[in-house]
Amino acid sequence: MFISDAQETIVLVYGSVISKLKQWNSSDVSTVKEDVMQFYEQFKSAFEQFLLNAKERFEEFYGGEFTVAGHLEHRKEQATWLISTGKDLVVGHLQHRKEQVTWLLSNAKSFDTSAFCEYLSSLTNWSPFEIESWWMEIKAYWTEYKYEQMISKEYLYWAYSIWQSTWASLFRLNCAVFLAPGASQKTQPAKPLILYDCEGSSYCKMVRETACVLGLDVVFKPCPKKGTVFCKELEERAGKVDLPYLVDENKEVEMGGYKAIETHLFETYGANVQSGFKLNKMLPFRLMHGPLYFTIFISSFIRSTIGYGRKALPTSTRPQKALTLWGNEHSPFVTIVRELLCSFEIPYVMKNTPIGCTWKREEFRRKHSHLLSQGRNMVPHVIQIPLLIDPNTDTTMVESRAICKYLWDTYGEAEAEKQSEDLSQSSNKAA
Ligand SMILES: N[C@@H](CCC(=O)N[C@@H](CS)C(=O)NCC(=O)O)C(=O)O
C-alpha cells in the first residue's frame, strides 16, 4: 500500500514536471519562471502531505524517529537554477531525468493511467484529456529510449558479464563476502600491502580472497599477459614474473606463492582469527581454501570465456597517480571493473570492504554518502560498491557500467583507434 502510494505520488509529480519541461523547451524563460512558481505552489501541499505520510510509515515500520529531509527545498533550488541558467538547460535536465523515468516505467506496470489523469486534473487546471495525451507522449518517448539502451552492445556485454561473474562467485560460495570474525582495525598494516597480480589468475584470486576477509587494503600492480608496465618492474625486482607476488613494507618482506602469502597475511594481520572449521561466517572461506580449493579453477574458467583481466589492452594514457577502488572480492559488479583496471595495467588501491568491516564502511559513509540512494543511506553500514576514485581526473563515481565506460573512454581510446584503423585498412584492401 505504501509502495503504491509512493509510486503514485512520484509518478504524478515527475510525470507532470517532465511534461511541463517538454512544453517549456519551446517557450521563453519568463513564461517558464511563472509556470514553475505556479506549479510549485500547486504541488507544495501534495508533496508535504506525502512526506508526512512517509515519515509516519517509516517510523511505524522501522521504529525510531525519521526527519523529513529538504527534498522540496532541493527541488526548488533546482528549478531556480534551471531558470536562471537559461532555456537550453531544460534539455540537459530532461536528459538527466531519463533514467529516473525509465525506472518509474518499469516499476509502474500496473499503473492506472485514467485514475492518474483524473487525479492530476483535480489538482491542476489541465483537463484529463490534455494530461492523457502528454502522458502517452512521454511514455512513448521514454520507452523508446529504454529500448535503445537495452539493445546496445555495451549493455549486453555488461549484463552478460554480471550474470557470468555472479556464477563465478557462487562457485566459491561467495566466501569472501564477510569480514573474518576476529579481524579488526587494530591489526591493519600501517603501509598498504603491494600485490603484483593478474585478475584472471586463480592463485591470485586465492590471495585476493584472503586480503578481503581480513579487511586489508592492497595496492594492486596488474600484470596481465603481454603487460609492459608492472611485469617489467616485477621481473627487475624478483628476477621472474611469477604471480602472485606480495611486497609487505611493514615487515620488510616480499614473497611469491599463494600459500606462503596466505600464511604471512594470517599470521601478521589475522592473528585473532579463529582457525579450523567452525560453523560461522568463515566456514565457506575455510572450505574454499581447504578441501574445496579446486573450485577456484572452475570459477576462473567461467570468466575466462569472455571478459578482460587476462591480456593487456592498448591504452591511450597512463595515469600519473594510482586510482582507488572500494569493493570486495566477490561482488560481480566490482569484478568487471577490476578486470578492466587489470587489462589497462592501471595501478589502484583496493579498499576491501567486506560485510562487517564497520570501520571502513563508516569511512565510506563519511566521505561518500551523498552518492548513495536514500534507501541505502537509511540502512546502517550499507554502502555501494564498486566506487572508483580517479585523482588524475578528479572523478569519483559509482555504478559498474558507468565506471567501465569511464575507464574505456579515459584510458582505452587506443583500442578504439586501433579498431577503426584496422577497419579502414581492411576496407581499403577490399576496395
Ligand atoms: N547497479 C550497481 C549495483 C552495485 C551493487 O549493488 N553492489 C552491491 C555488492 S554486489 C553493494 O553495493 N552492496 C552493498 C554493501 O555491500 O553494503 C552497479 O552496477 O554498480
Distance (Å) from CA 384 to ligand 1 centroid? 5
> Per the structure block, which three cell numbers stand in for 400?
559498474
The pLDDT assigned to 125 comes to 64
pLDDT at residue 100 is higher than 60: no
Question: CA nearest 36: which of 94, 79, 68, 69?
Answer: 79
The pLDDT assigned to 199 comes to 93
Lowest-confidence segment of 12-16, 200-204, 216-220, 360-364 by average pLDDT: 12-16
The pLDDT assigned to 188 comes to 94
Ligand 1, atom 1: closest residue by C-alpha: 399
Question: Binning pLDDT at 50, 70 and 90, where does residue 395 land?
Answer: very high
pLDDT at residue 23 is higher than 60: no
pLDDT at residue 147 is higher than 70: no
Residue 26, classified by CB atoms within 10 Å of its CB into exposed (0-12), middle (13-18) or buried (19+), is exposed
pLDDT at residue 379 is higher than 70: yes
Distance (Å) from CA 125 to ligand 1 centroid? 43
Angle between helices 332-343 and 153-170 (to 10 degrees): 110
Give the amino acid at 178.
Answer: F
The pLDDT assigned to 354 comes to 95
For residues 368-374, average pLDDT: 89
Distance (Å) from CA 385 to ligand 1 centroid? 5
CA dihedral 77, 79, 80, 84 (to 10 degrees): 140
Distance from C-alpha of 310 to C-alpha of 195, rounded to nearest angstrom: 16
The pLDDT assigned to 42 comes to 64
Atom of ligand 1 at shortest range from CA of 386 = 20
> Pocket residues for ligand 1 (CB within 6 Å)?
331, 333, 355, 382-386, 399-401
Distance (Å) from CA 328 to ligand 1 centroid? 10
pLDDT at residue 150 is higher than 80: no
Distance from C-alpha of 325 to C-alpha of 406, rounded to nearest angstrom: 14
Strand ranges for 137-293 from DSSP E: 193-197, 217-222, 245-248, 253-256
For residues 24-50, average pLDDT: 61
Q: Best of 158, 329, 333 to mutate for ligand 1, by most ligand atoms within 8 A of CB?
A: 333
Lowest-confidence segment of 50-59, 153-162, 370-379 by average pLDDT: 50-59
Question: Binning pLDDT at 50, 70 and 90, where does residue 410 land?
Answer: very high
Dihedrals phi, psi of 350, to nearest 5 degrees? -90, 115
Per-residue pLDDT tens over the stretch 226-241: 999 999 999 999 999 9
The pLDDT assigned to 89 comes to 44
Question: CA nearest 249: which of 213, 210, 195, 212?
Answer: 195
Q: Count of CB atoms within 10 A of residue 6's CB?
A: 14
The residues, any chain, with a CB within 8 Å of residue 241's CB and separated by 6 or more, are: 196, 223, 231, 234, 235
For residues 299-328, average pLDDT: 88
Distance from C-alpha of 130 to C-alpha of 128, rounded to nearest angstrom: 5
Distance (Å) from CA 217 to ligand 1 centroid? 19
The pLDDT assigned to 94 comes to 47
pTM: 0.67
Contact 176/329 with Cβ under 8 angstroms?
yes
pLDDT at residue 387 is higher than 90: yes
The pLDDT assigned to 374 comes to 79
Ligand 1, atom 18: closest residue by C-alpha: 399
Which residues is 247 bridged to in the sheet? 194, 254
Tell the residue number behind the cell numbers 502517452, with chain if given: 136
For residues 117-141, average pLDDT: 71
pLDDT at residue 306 is higher than 70: no
Question: Binning pLDDT at 50, 70 and 90, where does residue 1 land?
Answer: very low
3-class DSSP state for residue 86? coil
For residues 306-312, average pLDDT: 83
For residues 49-59, average pLDDT: 67
Question: Binning pLDDT at 50, 70 and 90, where does residue 419 land?
Answer: very low
> Per the structure block, which three cell numbers stand in for 119?
487525479
Domains of the chain, earliest start first: 2-151 (no CATH), 170-414 (3.40.30.10)
The residues, any chain, with a CB within 8 Å of residue 34's CB and separated by 6 or more, are: none
